[in-house]
Amino acid sequence: MGGTLTVDVAPVLGETGATMEVDADVPLESIAVGDTSATFSSPPRLRVTIANAGEVIVLTGSVEATARLECSRCLESFNLGITGSIDAVISSAHPSDEHDEDQEWYPLEGKTVDLLAAAESALRVEVPFAPVHDEECSGICPICGCDLNRDRCTCEPEGGERPDSPFAALKDLLPPEDD
């Protein structure tokens, strides 16, 4: 993408305890997570507090977006609202020992920090690996390709029922037939 979201943190640099709020659009059009691609028709919204905690600057807040995803079962596109949370530190050098390993670190460059990576990483963990437009989505018939949410077909996969059909599950619950 090559975008940036540079924030001037000079207002908090001089004084321990000083804070500032940032409310900004994130210049991000899409994120790819594995085989899934989430696209954003409008820019995700970043809302964070930047606080001078002495040794480091602490970045906390969230990023909200409406992700356009493709259903992994029926391939229909749908929108999913996602909110990622951000809990990170900003400092000129990588923080040492006492630094909480779970917190991400972003470099302070002069008096600015680029928050694009923080926003992207917070959104990335919220993108589902196998999105479904509806938990009940029936998917696509593997034989004729019809959308089983809208159409019915009479295809019978070779070797019996579809493994995930409700009838196959029901059969497991019944006692085996006597010969």
Residues that bind Zn ion (CB under 5 A): 71, 73-74, 76, 133, 137, 141, 143-144, 153, 155
Nearer of residues 3 and 145 to Zn ion, judged by Cβ: 145
Give kind and range of the element (H or E) at residue 69. strand 57-70
Amino acid present at 13: L
Smallest separation (angstroms) from Zn ion to the CB of 161: 13
Smallest separation (angstroms) from Zn ion to the CB of 149: 6
Nearer of residues 112 and 138 to Zn ion, judged by Cβ: 138
Nearer of residues 71 and 86 to Zn ion, judged by Cβ: 71
How many other CB atoms are there within 10 angstroms of residue 4's CB atom?
A: 12
Smallest separation (angstroms) from Zn ion to the CB of 127: 16
Amino acid present at 93: A
Per the CB < 8 A criterion, the answer to whether 163 and 142 are in contact is no
Smallest separation (angstroms) from Zn ion to the CB of 152: 8
Measured in degrees and rounded to the nearest 5, phi and psi for residue 71 equal: -60, 130
Interatomic CA distance for residues 1 and 173, integer angstroms: 52
Smallest CA-to-CA distance from 50 within 5, 104, 8, 93 is with 8
Nearer of residues 61 and 131 to Zn ion, judged by Cβ: 131
Smallest separation (angstroms) from Zn ion to the CB of 69: 10
Per the CB < 8 A criterion, the answer to whether 37 and 67 are in contact is no
DSSP three-state, residue 116: helix
Nearer of residues 32 and 144 to Zn ion, judged by Cβ: 144
